[in-house]
Homo-oligomer: A and B are copies of this chain.
Amino acid sequence: MREINGGITAVKGITASGIHCGIKKDGRKDLALIVSEVDASAAGVFTENHVKAAPVLLSQKNIKRGRARAIIINSGNANACTGKIGYKHAEEMADFTAQSIGVSSNNILVASTGVIGVPLPINKIKKGIPLLVKKLSASGGLKAVEAIMTTDTTPKVSAVEYKCGGKSIRIGGIAKGSGMIYPRLATMLSFITTDIAISHGLLKIALKESVNRSFNMITVDNDTSTNDTVIILANGLAGNKPITYKRSKEFNLFLEALIYVSTALAKMVVKDGEGATKFVEINVNGAVNFEDAKRIAFSIANSNLVKTALFGEDPNWGRIICAAGNSGVRFNLGKIGFLIGKQKILEDGNLVKRDWESKVKGILKQREITIVLNLKMGNAKASVWTTDLSHDYVSINSSYRS
């Protein structure tokens, strides 16, 4: 497996485009389209927030067919919490796109991201769609990713290629997101394309597994958005013998490559977390099971007091243990091991005697920080990726609408 350039349009038969249609006031791109030249097998995972945006409801309905041709996405407006009119707007986005590329409406998936609770400027989108279709190209992946950004400061793109049965298989993905990031069984927006031939059932399994290992292991601010969506299109143009067995080497190769792309994108989302000055990996080891390890890791990752201490490079490690204690998971405080970077702080629950403080201060000055908590109860472990909580996070989010 090797990394390649081109993102989603590195994949055979995939074209994409991105334009400014007028939703964003500052002239940045705000409308994106991804099209497969043939019908693709399609799978998606969507937000677990009970309040789902209109485009999520529509995409959940259309994706039930298991196949799709295109995804239309706007940024600058989430089309969420706007009542009945919101669903009508999402349908109109699908209808206009379908007409413009000459397929039926239920072939189209829709996603939106941006401010919640403001009606979508649907006429601007309708006017933009013909130009968007005209601009579709096999090098348009970067324009599409730019058009799905909101507070993102960098586009998030990943693609790989690997060999399978003499055929070259490609997987490309894009993602957006830097605030309202605490995906639960789903994520912010991410769109992944692949030319592999695979059964629809296995595509769904692979997507769910890779999301659980990547996007579901990140948090910026403990808020799950109304619009979280990950969609994968697999158009089969790689020409491989279709994958139909889960226990096959071919499926495992695909899953591994898909996890690679998903994890790369998920980490990019965290690194671009709103106001983030630190990228923090939290490893909880020695747990009885994965769920316990994950709960503790997220309890630490979502603590504002841990996050502000990380921002301040303040070795206030007691907050990390306090947050672990708030996870609801039982463990023996008198047994745990605890490290920041490579510096031991607690050994069998007792504070190490030697001067650890100056070393931890040095570690906390780095941009990437690792925290390790060993419960010494079992063999399960989990890693979660997160950010600190900075003044810039407060600035960005105290005036998002203005």
Question: Is B80 a contact of A397 with CB atoms below 8 Å?
Answer: no
Residue A324 lies at the interface, judged by CB distance under 8 Å to chain B = yes
Q: Which parts of A90-107 form the interface with B (CB within 8 Å)? A: none
Q: Give A219 to B132 CA distance when docked, in angstroms.
A: 47
Quick check: is A308 within 8 A (CB to CB) of the other chain? yes
Contacts of A389 in B (CB 8 A): 304, 394
User: Across the interface, which residues of B come within 8 angstroms of A329, CB to CB?
Assistant: 50
Report the bound CA distance from A319 to B400 in whole Å. 11
Interchain CB contact under 8 A, B400 and A222: no
Kindly report how many copies of this chain are found in the complex they form together: 2
Let me know if A316 and B400 touch, CB within 8 A.
yes
Contacts of A394 in B (CB 8 A): 308, 311, 389-391, 393-394
Which residues of B are found within 8 Å of A308, using beta-carbon distances? 393-394, 396-398
Chain A, interface size: which category?
A: 35 or more
**In the complex, A83 has a CB within 8 A of chain B:** yes
Which of A66-74, A115-123, A236-244, A279-287 is near enough to bind chain B? Answer: A115-123
Query: Residue A78 at the B interface, CB < 8 A?
Result: yes
CB distance from A77 to the nearest CB of B (A): 10
> Which residue on chain B has the smallest CB distance to residue A398?
B312
Assess whether A398 is in contact with B311, with CB atoms less than 8 Å apart: yes
**Which chain B residue has the least Cβ–Cβ distance from A402?**
B314
Neighbouring B residues of A402 by C-beta, 8 Å? 312, 314
Q: Which 8 A-B pairs have the closest CB atoms?
A: A116-B318, A312-B398, A51-B325, A117-B318, A308-B397, A83-B350, A49-B325, A50-B325
With A50-B331, A309-B398 known, 6 other A-B pairs at CB within 8 A are A50-B330, A51-B321, A116-B316, A116-B322, A180-B319, A304-B393
